[in-house]
Structure 1
C-alpha cells in the first residue's frame, strides 16, 4: 500500500443532508484528511481559514443557498468577563482543571454518554459506543489534548492526577495562534454551575497564559438558539468574505 501523502491536501464535497441547525435547509461540507507529517501545520492553516476538525478530517460548510455558519474566535488578550461570567468563575472555584494527552477513559465515556442522552438524543452522535468515543479522542495526527475538570478534593491541584469527581471534559487542539475547542461535554444536571461557560473561560485563561491570541469556538449560526451563547464572549472576530473582522453585537440587536 502506498503510504506517501500528497504535498497538497485533496478536498472533497459531501452530498446534501438535512441541516441540524436551521429547519428547511440542506447542508453540504467540503473536507480533507489531516494525516502525515504536515497534519498539525495544515490544521492550523485550515482552522484559521474557517475549517473545523473531527478526528482526522478537516471540514467546513459549503452549502449552496445558505451562509449562516460563521467561524468565531475570541480575542483572548482583550477579553473581559461580564458580571455573570465572574459569578460562574466564583461558583466553580472548587474545580481543578488538568490537561492530559488525548487518551480516553471509562470515566470520560460515562460522562459523555450522560451528556448525549440528555442533550443530543436525536443527534448524529447519539448512538456512539465506547469504541467510537475512543476513536474520536485518539484518531488525531495533530497536537490534541484532553482537559478534565474535577471537583476539588483535599490535595487536588498539587499533583498531576486530581482525585475528585469528573464534571466536564474538553477535547482541545493546541495551535500556533491559540486553542481550538473541538468538542466538550459536561454533567448537565449541574445547571447552576454553567459548566459550558466555565470551560470557555478556562480556555481563554489558558490561551492568555500561553501568550497566544485566539480561542476558536467553531461555528456560530445566526437564528439557531443552540449557538447563541457563542457571541457572549467579547471581543471576538468572525470570518467573513473580507477575512477575520471584529463582531459588533450591537449591530445584530
Structure 2
C-alpha cells in the first residue's frame, strides 16, 4: 500500500447468493482527495462504501484502511477505524427519538469518555461548523427541513474529528439552491479540516464541483479512475450515457476547479 493511500482495495469479490456484484475489484483512495464513485443501478456503489467502513464483509479480497486490513481478526480495530471515519447517509439517518443536540452527541457518548460539559461544547462547535444556529439544538428531526437534516447529519459525522468522511448521495432530495450551498459547505470543510472524502452520487453538478477523481463501476469492477476530464474521455457505453448527455455536458461547461 502506497503511503499516501488511505484506502487500498485488492481482489474484491462481492456475492449475494448466486449474484456476483464485484469481481476482482481494485481501488485506491489517496490522502486528502475527494474520490467519487459512480455506476449504473446494481453495480454495488453503496455496498462498496459499506465494505470500506467494515459494515459488510466481502466474499473475497482485502480492504486496507489506514494501512490495516479491516477484516483481519484484530480486536478493537473496527472501533478504531470508526473513530477516525464519519458517514453521512443518503437521507441523514438521524435518530427520530433524539433531539438535534443528542444526535450530534451520540458518537461522542458512544466512543469517548468525555465529560458532558465538554461534549456540550463540541456539539455546539460542530453545529456552528455546518451553519446551524444554536436555537435549533433542542428541536426534533421531525421539525427540520431536508436541508437542515443534511447539515445536522454532517455535524454528527464530524463529531469525532474524523480523517476520512463517507458521503452517500449528499445532495439527494435538496433543491438546486440548497444543493449548491451544501456542496460549498463540503468543499469548505474539506479544505479546512484536511479530510479525505469518499462519495457516492448521481448528481452531475455536485460530482464535477467536488471530485478530485472519479471511479466508475461497471462490469463488476472499477473500469477507470481519474480526474473528471480523464474519465469523460474513457470510451465506454455507460460513460457516454452518464456523462455525455445533455445534463452532463451542461455540468461540465460550468464546472469550477475543485481546488483539491
Task: Judge same fold: TM > 0.5, yes or no.
Answer: no
Q: Which has the higher strand share?
A: 1
Q: Structure 2-normalised TM-score?
A: 0.33
Q: Which has the higher helix share?
A: 2
